[in-house]
Chain A
């Protein structure tokens, strides 16, 4: 298994540009989520999904869209990038939302918005 993969690893955007951060897992996990990590802020949940076709907002959803058309993929879209979205983005998955369900994290995407 490849686990949780994220692309790209690094990205630089200009303010106002849009892009999609890709996340995929091959473990047949139902539960997937996106976090952003900023210095001194820990990880904050952006959006999550408990299964294909179901998404919900986390703590900091503004400026981001998600969809979950398949179990494997959970892309994160930035509609109009802003410097405040400069961060490291982590995707995570787990077998289901309840129980222990260890979350497996991808390696992260480092995004800079100028």
Chain B
């Protein structure tokens, strides 16, 4: 069956870059997504990448897609304490989510 996998925890120092990795299984996914969940809140779409792209940059966020390896990553430059949250990658519709990576930013 479908499976989206990501590491559960990541801890970085403020100002460093964070890289959150994800592997997915459905090669027919047209879009791949990163969602952010802050404590006690629902999920918000952070960014996405179209499957025919290798990279997408949006301010401090960089998404890299390796379709051959079915690997997706989210890089957050100059990580701030406000970036502390759980980050989910997702594929397909209906969305299939990974288990989420809890990013902790140490001041």
Contact = CB atoms under 8 A, between A and B. Distances in A.
Interface in B46-88: 48, 88
B96 A45 contact: yes
| Interface-centre pick from A31, A35, A42, A100 (highest chain B CB count, 10 A) | A42
Given A105-B42, A105-B43, A43 B94 contact: no
B43 A90 contact: yes
B45 interface: yes
A108 B42 contact: yes
A72 to B, nearest CB: 18
B95 interface: yes
B45 A102 contact: yes
A9 to B, nearest CB: 10
B42 A45 contact: no
B88 A98 contact: no
A97 interface: yes
Given A48-B94, A58-B94, A97-B93, A42 B100 contact: yes
A31 B92 CA distance: 13
B79 to A, nearest CB: 22
10 contacts: A41-B99, A42-B88, A42-B100, A43-B97, A44-B97, A99-B30, A100-B48, A103-B43, A105-B44, A107-B41
Given A42-B88, A98-B93, A101-B93, 9 more contacts: A31-B93, A40-B99, A42-B100, A43-B100, A58-B94, A59-B96, A103-B45, A103-B95, A108-B42
